[in-house]
A = this chain, B = another copy of it.
Amino acid sequence: MNIALLPGDGIGPEVIAQAVKVVNAVAKKFNHKITFEEAPVGATAIDLTGDPYPDSTHQVCLRADAVLFGAIGDPKYDNDPKAKVRPEQGLLSMRKQLGLFANVRPTFTFPSLIHKSPLRLERVEGVDFVFFRELTGGIYFGEPRGRNEQGTKAFDTNVYTKEEITRLARMGFEAAQKRRKLLTCVDKANVLATSRLWRETVQELAPEYPDVKVEYEFVDAVAMRLIQWPKAYDVLITENLFGDILTDEASVISGSMGLMPSASLGTENKLFEPIHGSYPQAAGKDIANPLATVLSAAMMFDYAFDLKAEAQAISDVVNKSLAAGIVTEDIAEGGKAFKTSEVGDWLA
């Protein structure tokens, strides 16, 4: 197995380094030959090549069996609305060029961390749902977009085809069949033409999955219910922009943001990344929590290689590190806080 390593910006390189240690340990234990090929992305790639997702990096991803990605983003680009190149453009063109149309974002709880949740215990205990966010369409890529000549008017286009909705929705239906058999389609069908196509398409697919109960909810209602009663959800499907907002909202409810992994799946390519950002304030300090990246590597063994035992071994050792308190300062309690690299060594 050949893994493309894209550490990216901020704490990306540090957390990816720990995942590599763990993947190597798994390779050794289970007798796999795993090779890595590293490539720059994001602000790092801009500094090196002027392009946040250079073609050389794309080639590395194409020839890999899976991509392990750190984080992207540098504050020096954030407050400059006129910047020509932005690190985030690298993320977007990577998703588009690799055809990663489905972002899989599970939310679940770790009993030892649940008291860190901003929600009251009874609301969050046992929460277990997963978002399937469409990742290569919608207003992120729709044309036309830009300004009028005088620069006094700006516009973006949200666009979806039935095919784009269908392939994402089928993933959701199939996941629901393996879980609690509830699918929630999140849209704004009372306002948007694109949302009405989403709702219509899901309604047409539903009879093919008779064991799955389908619910339709408006995005504003879901933004509320995710906090009020997150246990109500099982599998949620939604478009790119709604997914961006709601998956981030969802990520804080478990109290374990630093542990949440994700997968971005396409027909040919598969990418795995922690959901946290590049956290520039912590970069280079060896204090970032590597667990989300390590659990993303577990998802990689599961989704990209179909190696369940290997994935399980990683989840198990993460749980052991939590139980033993071998954790970074963000989740250390009472006891000693360990460095990023120390946690990685212990896990490996």
Is A270 an interface residue, CB under 8 A from the partner? no
* Contact partners of A155 in chain B: CB under 8 A: 142, 157-160, 193-194
Is A331 an interface residue, CB under 8 A from the partner? no
Known: A86-B190, A196-B154. A227 touches B245 (CB 8 A): no
Is A248 an interface residue, CB under 8 A from the partner? yes
Is A323 an interface residue, CB under 8 A from the partner? no
CA distance A160 to B119 in the complex (A): 36
Contacting B at CB under 8 A, from A262-287, are: none
* Contact partners of A84 in chain B: CB under 8 A: none
CA distance A251 to B246 in the complex (A): 16
Shortest distance between the CB of A240 and any CB in chain B (Å)? 9
CA distance A280 to B245 in the complex (A): 28
Nearest to A221 among chain B residues (CB) is: B248
State whether A154 touches B159 (Cβ < 8 A): yes
CA distance A239 to B336 in the complex (A): 45
* Contact partners of A223 in chain B: CB under 8 A: 223, 245-246, 248-249
Which candidate, A9-17, A19-27, A197-205, A300-308, is the interface stretch facing chain B? A197-205
Known: A79-B216, A120-B119, A120-B120. A156 touches B249 (CB 8 A): no
* Contact partners of A117 in chain B: CB under 8 A: 120
Which candidate, A58-66, A96-104, A144-152, A311-319, is the interface stretch facing chain B? A144-152
A152, A159, A191: most-surrounded residue (chain B CB, <10 A): A191
Known: A120-B119, A224-B252, A227-B249. A191 touches B140 (CB 8 A): yes
State whether A153 touches B158 (Cβ < 8 A): no
A154, A203, A220, A251: most-surrounded residue (chain B CB, <10 A): A154
Nearest to A223 among chain B residues (CB) is: B249
CA distance A188 to B240 in the complex (A): 13
* Contact partners of A221 in chain B: CB under 8 A: 248
Chain A residues with a Cβ closer than 8 Å to the other chain, count: 62
Is A322 an interface residue, CB under 8 A from the partner? no
Q: How many copies does the complex hold?
A: 2
Is A189 an interface residue, CB under 8 A from the partner? yes
A147, A196, A224, A245: most-surrounded residue (chain B CB, <10 A): A245
Nearest to A141 among chain B residues (CB) is: B191
Is A345 an interface residue, CB under 8 A from the partner? no
CA distance A200 to B248 in the complex (A): 25
CA distance A155 to B162 in the complex (A): 12
Is A118 an interface residue, CB under 8 A from the partner? yes
Shortest distance between the CB of A55 and any CB in chain B (Å)? 22
Nearest to A159 among chain B residues (CB) is: B155
* Contact partners of A194 in chain B: CB under 8 A: 154-156
* Contact partners of A152 in chain B: CB under 8 A: 161-163
* Contact partners of A118 in chain B: CB under 8 A: 119-120, 123, 227-229
Is A78 an interface residue, CB under 8 A from the partner? yes
State whether A88 touches B191 (Cβ < 8 A): yes
Q: Could you list which residues of chain A lie within 8 angstroms of chain B, going by C-beta atoms?
A: 78-79, 81-82, 86, 88, 92, 117-120, 123, 139-140, 142, 145-147, 152-163, 188-194, 196-197, 199-200, 203, 216, 219-221, 223-224, 226-229, 241-242, 244-246, 248-249, 251-253
List 7 other contacts, CB 8 Å, given A119-B119, A119-B120, A221-B248.
A139-B192, A153-B162, A154-B196, A156-B158, A188-B241, A219-B244, A242-B245
